[in-house]
Amino acid sequence: MRLAIDALSHRYGDELAVDDVSFGIEAGELVALVGPSGCGKTTVVQSIAGHVRPTAGRIALHGEDVTGVPPEDRGVSIVFQRSTLYPHMTVGENVAYGLDARGVAPARREALVSKHLELVALDDQREARPTELSGGQRRRAELARALAPSPDVLLLDEPLSALDRTLRIRLREEIARIQRETGVTTLFVTHDQEDAMALADRLVVMNEGRIVGRGRPRDLYESPPTPFVASFLGRANTFSATVLKSNPLTVRRGDETVEIRGVKADVSDDSTVTCHVHPEDLSVRPAESRATNPSIRGTVAHVADVGRRYDVTVRIGSGEDLVAEQVSSPPAVDDDVAVAFPGDRLHLFDRDEGRRVP
């Protein structure tokens, strides 16, 4: 294991910002630490960088405890959301700065600066000042500076958050390429599930200071362990129901009985469950149409035309909405509809414990 975080906790006064967090990153892996704003991601990454001394727990690099080691002696580089380039220095001098501090000899330093500016496609901007660069170029200059000393671990703390969507996607691809080419072990921190899923080999999902899910992006999306992970990686598309029968799974919602044919659930009769369906698995039909898939009745509350699809919000109960992604023929607001889904696309969770029901 290149980087191991073991039982990390951190308090700010009375607030437990990070609560018993453990995970590891193998050499060459790109792991995304993802979760909503305020869940403790920055505190974890700052603990790894050495800028925060955790209240409890241990951080190991190559198996060696570095929890008390000063930031500059850890072999860890960090890129922040905000630019930290020195405005009075050229791009080349900024990249060289960290190498000077480490006592790299001039000839070697020049070679490393050229190599890393080329890596991030900024070789023609070596003499430019940071203020002369575009937002995307500044990010790439930061990456070159972070990578030049060949860190054991690269930490990227929300590096794309301040960029517009087009630039964000382009830079995301650049980061993936650079990480592939250098093989640098990387922890990418973001609140954006799309950036995380697009980039990472593995995700570590945090909420309220704790890890609430981990795994390959596709696996976590297809089999979310909790409603929070299902909603965070997809959309908050949940409804509650009471189990009438476990095989085939049959649930009741108000006066509606829904049989999920072909699905058998390990759940006791009369228990209340939380159900989740990703929006792309839902289809909206006229209420009176006969469907083979299970469906729930509702009324169209909103239709958003987002260009490549329509997001149709259907109110299925008081305070319960489902969003269906539909590529054509959207219904109209106030239409009575049925929201249908293939039974095997329903994710079922124990309502009290929030755990996935097999």
Contacting residues toward ligand ATP, per CB under 6 A: 12, 15, 17, 35, 37-43, 191
Closest separation in Å from C-beta 41 to ligand ATP:
4
- Nearer to ligand ATP by C-beta: 71 or 183? 71
Closest separation in Å from C-beta 136 to ligand ATP:
21
- Nearer to ligand ATP by C-beta: 1 or 16? 16
- Sheet with 185-190: list strands edge to edge: 76-79, 153-157, 185-190, 30-34, 202-207, 210-215
- Nearer to ligand ATP by C-beta: 161 or 242? 161
Closest separation in Å from C-beta 33 to ligand ATP:
9
- One DSSP character per residue, 171-238 reads HHHHHHHHHHHH--EEEEEES-HHHHHHH-SEEEEEETTEEEEEE-HHHHHHS-SSHHHHHHHS---E
What is the 8-class DSSP label of residue 356? B
Residue nearest to ligand ATP according to CB distances in the complex:
42
- Nearer to ligand ATP by C-beta: 37 or 329? 37
Query: Identity (one letter) of the amino acid at 184?
Result: V
How far apart, in Å, are the Cα atoms of 307 and each of 60, 166, 274, 327? 47, 16, 31, 9
CB 196 within 8 A of CB 31: no
Bridge partner residues of 302 (DSSP): 313
Q: Which two structure tokens, joined as six digits, stand for 103?
A: 């006592």
Closest separation in Å from C-beta 191 to ligand ATP:
5
- Nearer to ligand ATP by C-beta: 158 or 281? 158
Closest separation in Å from C-beta 356 to ligand ATP:
24
